Chain A
Amino acid sequence: MEDLYQEIILDHYRNPQGRGLREPFEAQVHHVNPTCGDEIDLRVHLEERDGTTYVEDVSYAGQGCSISQASASVMYDSIAGRTLDEALEALARFQEMVQSKGEIAGDEETMGDAVAFAGVAKYPARVKCALLPWMAWKDAMVQATEGDDRD
């Protein structure tokens, strides 16, 4: 069980980073985990500077277990203020790790606190919890960039 509830995860759960819905935003999504009822509302604010798109802010509110709540907090730390490309890389690395059934430990250098979720991969029922905020962000990001295309 200590694999799963690493101290870093519990810290983020008790003191979530970036929590709360903020203005401005280009897209807002509502995602649920239908098996357990966990919910997240998430907004994304993208900004373009010198031809590069930045994830200027990602803000969220919701209810859920320690894994989904801590994952949202870690995600905020990992992607807010980064370029969109960096954020997409962070998503890919995180998703690959938690879906690896424990095969991929994750690299602390590139992933930071997100490596604490490596233990989640050994608990198949909890992988969805860890991915809930990330999938919400991916969805919101797609919606926000689609909006750009229409402009």
Chain B
Amino acid sequence: MSSPLDARRVREDFPILDRTVRGGGRLVYLDSAATTQKPLAVLDAGRDYYLTSNAAVHRGAHQLAEEATEAFEGARARIAAFVGARADDLVFTRNATESLNLMAYAFSNATAKAARGSDLPKGAERFVLREGDEILVTEMEHHANLVPWQEVCAKTGAVLRWIPLTPEGRLDLSDLDRLINERTRVVSFTQQSNLLGTVNPVAPIVDAARAVGALIVLDSCQSVPHMPIDVASLGVDAVAWSGHKMLGPTGIGCLWATSETLASMPPFITGGSMIENVTMESSTYAEPPKRFEAGVPMVAQAVGLAAACDYLDALGMEKVAAHEAALTAHALTRLAEVPGVAVVGPTDLIDRGSAISFTVEGVHPHDVGQVLDSSGIAVRVGHHCAWPGCRAMGVPATTRMSPYIYNDAQDIDECIEALGRVRAVFGAR
């Protein structure tokens, strides 16, 4: 396997990968689509912030508060730059799930407020839904980009529709003309499937959605950590992703949206820090991004995520993508050698990421994962929060390996070797 990254060298920055598991075995961590491990630089950045500058940001007349604010806003600029965005267009959330909910709630809140004639930001009519309006998702969405839209429909009378899957696990766009129509108000879809590894074609969906004036939301949880992303060039209105899947800490997610989109959205979580003026009767709200960041924010996490961006940029996102492509090619080749193993998702390398789901004939994924775990191999099992996608593919659940920058061919080979033992344990026919 030839790769532009030296995974062995990368691993030195991730002390957790040196630990042993299950009675002394080497840890082979192949669950990075769920969450990545964190390099020392990220841990140090968060710790340094607490050691030197910790204070509540955007308030207080003391030096620490100033430094904390600088650290927080500096982190915002750094993370925005990682995806080619302006700092003011980047909202920090708890995680990508909250980022997607923030978008969904803009619709249900604007619709509820419009019905009562309450104040809305200029341009908010874009977020007001009527009975029979349509929201389009895909059948491969993570629950985080499905359930919030189901809720919007339940609250507004909008109708949820979805792009179905081909047997290979790609989007079936043959009916796109009908699915995106004059009633379509929102198109929200994943750039890369966490279940299938499929990289979706953004451009044709964006073109169709633009033609009918629908607002476009992209779930980029599985793409921002894995490939170079320039949000502005995607042509979408909003992009959601999480920090912890790209070497950053847990507890921080990102929502990028165009300035005009953010400006026209009513607030989501309300309270301190997000206001302009408050009286007993009513309040007016701050400009974005602060309008969407109520309460004391996650400063250490932002600082840690900025360090993660530095780390990934030092490696080079092109090289990260090439390394993952090499691992994916190796894994798909090796998986094909194991009797009874079937990949769920694309089996070629075209528009395909490193999240590789598979089934083992006659053995339930939970049992597959348990046998792998006994060899120190950490994979994810279950429906991967994409239950409808599993049903569409005709499987109740899968086992998924998802290698990243610190994995090499040997990790894949050890996983394959352990997989070879699975069927014997259960006496599968």
Q: Which residues of A contact B374 (CB under 8 A)?
A: 1
Contact A36 B382 (CB under 8 A): yes
Q: Is the interface of A mostly helix, strand, loop or mixed?
A: mixed
Fill in one digit per residue for B376-396: 1 if any A CB lies within 8 Å of its CB, else 0: 000001110001001000001
Fill in one digit per residue for A119-135: 1 if any B CB lies within 8 Å of its CB, else 0: 00001001001000000
Contact B382 A5 (CB under 8 A): no
Contact B381 A36 (CB under 8 A): yes
Q: Which residues of A contact B397 (CB under 8 A)?
A: 36-38
Residue of A nearest to B391 (CB): A37
Fill in one digit per residue for B161-183: 1 if any A CB lies within 8 Å of its CB, else 0: 00000000000000000000000
Contact A65 B364 (CB under 8 A): yes
Tell me the chain A residues, 78-109 only, with Cβ under 8 Å from chain B: none
Contact A64 B364 (CB under 8 A): yes
Tell me the chain A residues, 28-44 only, with Cβ under 8 Å from chain B: 35-39
Q: Which residues of A contact B364 (CB under 8 A)?
A: 38, 63-66, 69
Contact B382 A37 (CB under 8 A): yes
Q: Which residues of A contact B383 (CB under 8 A)?
A: 36-37
Asked if A117 is at the interface (CB within 8 A of a chain B CB), the reply is no
Contact B390 A37 (CB under 8 A): yes
Whole-angstrom distance between the Cβ of A71 and the nearest chain B Cβ: 12
Asked if B425 is at the interface (CB within 8 A of a chain A CB), the reply is yes
Q: Which residues of B contact A13 (CB under 8 A)?
A: 426
Contact stretch, chosen from B262-270, B365-373, B401-409: B365-373
Whole-angstrom distance between the Cβ of A10 and the nearest chain B Cβ: 7
Asked if B427 is at the interface (CB within 8 A of a chain A CB), the reply is yes
Q: Which residues of A contact B363 (CB under 8 A)?
A: 66
The number of chain A residues with a CB under 8 A from chain B is: 20
Q: A10-B426, A13-B426, A63-B396 are in contact. Are A4 and B370 (CB under 8 A)?
A: yes
B366 CB contact (under 8 Å) in A1, A10, A129:
A129
Residue of A nearest to B382 (CB): A36
Contact A66 B367 (CB under 8 A): yes
Q: Which residues of B contact A39 (CB under 8 A)?
A: 396
Q: Which residues of B contact A4 (CB under 8 A)?
A: 370
Residue of A nearest to B425 (CB): A5
| Alpha-carbon separation in the docked complex, A38 to B371 (Å) | 18
| Alpha-carbon separation in the docked complex, A67 to B363 (Å) | 11
Whole-angstrom distance between the Cβ of B188 and the nearest chain A Cβ: 23
Q: Which residues of B contact A38 (CB under 8 A)?
A: 364, 366, 396-397
Residue of B nearest to A129 (CB): B366
Contact A10 B427 (CB under 8 A): yes
| Alpha-carbon separation in the docked complex, A4 to B22 (Å) | 13
| Alpha-carbon separation in the docked complex, A69 to B371 (Å) | 17
Extra inter-chain contacts (14) besides given A10-B425, A37-B397, CB under 8 Å: A4-B370, A10-B426, A35-B382, A36-B365, A36-B397, A37-B387, A37-B396, A38-B366, A38-B397, A39-B396, A63-B396, A65-B365, A66-B426, A67-B366
Pairs A–B under 8 Å by Cβ, sample size 5 = A1-B371, A5-B367, A35-B382, A66-B364, A66-B426
Residues of A that sit less than 8 Å from B by CB: 1, 4-5, 10, 13-14, 35-39, 63-67, 69, 123, 126, 129
Residues of B that sit less than 8 Å from A by CB: 22, 363-367, 370-371, 373-374, 381-383, 387, 390, 396-397, 425-427
